[in-house]
Amino acid sequence: MKLFHFVKPNRPLRNRIKLSLEIFTILFFCSFHYFCFAVQTNNFAGHWKLDPKQSTKPEDEFKGKLRTLALKWKAREDKGLPDGPYRERLADYQKQHLDSQKRKSARNLKRLGLLLPLINCQSLQIKKTITDNVTQFIFIYDNVLERKFTISNTGRMFSAKGNELSKNIFGYTLAYFDENKLILETDTYDGHRVKEEISIYANRLKYQQIFDSFVLTKTVTIDKLFAEKTML
Mind listing the pLDDT tens digit for each residue in 154-211? 888 766 666 789 999 899 999 999 989 999 999 998 889 999 999 998 889 999 999 9
pLDDT given at position 70: 47
When the pLDDT of each residue in the chain is averaged and rounded to a whole number, the result is: 77
Give the per-residue pLDDT at 39. Answer: 41
Q: What is the pLDDT of residue 27?
A: 56
Percent of the chain with pLDDT over 90: 41
**CA-wise closest residue to 94 among 78, 84, 77, 107:** 107
Which of the four pLDDT bands, split at 50, 70 and 90, describes residue 36?
very low
Mean of pLDDT values over 140-162: 84
At residue 40 the predicted structure's pLDDT band, cuts being 50, 70 and 90, is very low
Where does the pLDDT of residue 24 fall: very low under 50, low under 70, confident under 90, or very high at 90 and above?
low
Residue 47 has pLDDT above 70, yes or no: yes
Q: Residue 51 has what pLDDT?
A: 95
Q: What is the pLDDT of residue 111?
A: 75
**Strand ranges (E), the chain:** 46-50, 123-131, 134-141, 145-150, 166-167, 171-178, 181-188, 193-201, 204-212, 220-230
Of the chain, the percentage scoring pLDDT greater than 70 comes to 61
pTM, 2 dp: 0.72
Contact status, residue 226 vs residue 48, Cβ threshold 8 Å: yes
Question: Distances from the Cα of 10 to the Cαs of 22, 24, 66, in angstroms?
Answer: 19, 22, 78
- Tens-place pLDDT, residues 75-84: 445 555 555 5
pLDDT digits (tens, 9 = 90+) for 9-23: 555 666 666 666 666
Q: What is the pLDDT of residues 102-128, one digit of tens each?
A: 445 555 677 787 888 899 899 999 999
Q: What are phi and psi of 88, to 5 degrees?
A: -65, -45
